Structure 1
């Protein structure tokens, strides 16, 4: 599938980038630096706005709790480095998920290799990067699932891509009830309307996805370990 370039619009001109080697980039950046390294250039991200952080926080909590209840793997929130291949770009997606069977791709410093799910929440300076550059990179690397969420004022668009057998991304629209079902988080689904809520209720959403009885049972199981 071609990159989601048809949706790219209202993107400001790219910021001036610093040039350095990857080794220099590692020395230059610290743990709190939110920047990416691509083919000798460094792109420093603009500070995120509240709607962006609110959505990232909601997903981090909802997915994190779901993953913990069913012991599916691990979830990271930016900034944490992802290198899809050892000689490739250094990326810092908003959210990254690795299934348990793929945790061997994790090192103390970064993930090396394709994760199972990447989520990017679009910012004013990331439109082309998220919908074209990263789309192509993640597809080529075989990342099974990629979400691009745009909750900027007046947008409210969600694009869910799953990797098809031919190695290309296929856009998976929500069903007639506005529900999207993940292919890599077994049993997980979400109502797209939750993404645009002013104050999303994590616990209510989790109870609807999992069911209160299963949540209670998971807690009992943990206490008995």
Structure 2
């Protein structure tokens, strides 16, 4: 089918429900385009700004800690907010809040970086990572807690970290892939959540800074 659709000024192909069409369209978008997500023929576009208190600050805190940890451990590469990944078999193309790819996964070609065009820098990771992060916002509840639990499992991500800071108590879940489905990892003494992918235990804490904004910290122990 030819032609285009226009939604809130964003022009897209009329057959955007095809994964390859969606991927080709995303390659034409600029860095300041809205976040887009493809799942089994459905397209989701995030046009609204993210909440500072419950999303942006949390994503930054987790990503900062995990980027340092990945370098210290030397077992893989952690990509922060804005990385684009696609898994054909799961019918998924999305931009997580962060994800880890171990070196062994890259060496086995289970994950590979794809450029925008020949000779240009890589903008898409095709295949699977080993751990993926999503922080829930008001507009992404169903996507993060239903669709992506299904899709990241189908794509083979060994762990899905799901965080919701919208209530007084932070909901921090590590979902581990077992027999093709996710199961919640049970906390150990002190409320720590063990991660088999990282080989560490984690805990999320929140304080209030002098400006009255939340300050989050991802604690790590061996």
TM-score tier (shorter): 0.7 to 0.9
Q: Secondary structure at the match of 1:152?
A: coil
- Cα separation, 1, equivalents of 2:60 and 2:67: 10
Q: Who is 2:216 aligned against?
A: 200
Residue 129 of structure 1 pairs with residue 143 of structure 2: yes
Q: Who is 1:92 aligned against?
A: 95
Q: Which has the higher helix share?
A: 1
Q: Who is 2:4 aligned against?
A: none
Residue 30 of structure 1 pairs with residue 30 of structure 2: yes
Q: Who is 2:81 aligned against?
A: 78
| Structure 2 contact 90–151 (Cα < 8 Å) conserved | no
The correspondence for 1:159, drawn from 157, 161, 173, is: 173
Q: Who is 2:195 aligned against?
A: 182
- Cα separation, 2, equivalents of 1:89 and 1:144: 16
- Cα separation, 1, equivalents of 2:197 and 2:147: 23
Q: Secondary structure at the match of 1:79?
A: coil
Q: Who is 1:213 aligned against?
A: none
> Are residues 55 and 144 of structure 1, via their aligned partners in 2, closer, same or farther at CA, if it must alter by over 3 Å?
same
Q: Which moved more, 1:51-60 or 1:122-131?
A: 51-60
- Cα separation, 2, equivalents of 1:177 and 1:84: 36
Structure 2: stretches of 5+ with no match in the other structure: 1-6, 114-121, 208-213
Q: How far apart are residue 71 of structure 1 and its match? A: 0.9
- Cα separation, 2, equivalents of 1:79 and 1:185: 21
The correspondence for 2:66, drawn from 59, 63, 66, is: 63
Q: How far apart are residue 155 of structure 1 and its match? A: 5.2
How much is the aligned-residue C-alpha RMSD, in angstroms? 2.5
| Structure 2 contact 85–124 (Cα < 8 Å) conserved | yes
- Cα separation, 1, equivalents of 2:128 and 2:76: 14
- Cα separation, 1, equivalents of 2:143 and 2:164: 13
> Are residues 119 and 23 of structure 1, via their aligned partners in 2, closer, same or farther at CA, if it must alter by over 3 Å?
closer
| Structure 1 contact 25–37 (Cα < 8 Å) conserved | no
- Equivalenced residue count is 188
Q: How far apart are residue 106 of structure 1 and its match? A: 2.8
- Cα separation, 2, equivalents of 1:109 and 1:43: 19
| Structure 2 contact 158–177 (Cα < 8 Å) conserved | yes
TM-score by length of 2: 0.75
TM-score by length of 1: 0.74
- Cα separation, 1, equivalents of 2:215 and 2:173: 21
Structure 1: stretches of 5+ with no match in the other structure: 1-14, 211-225
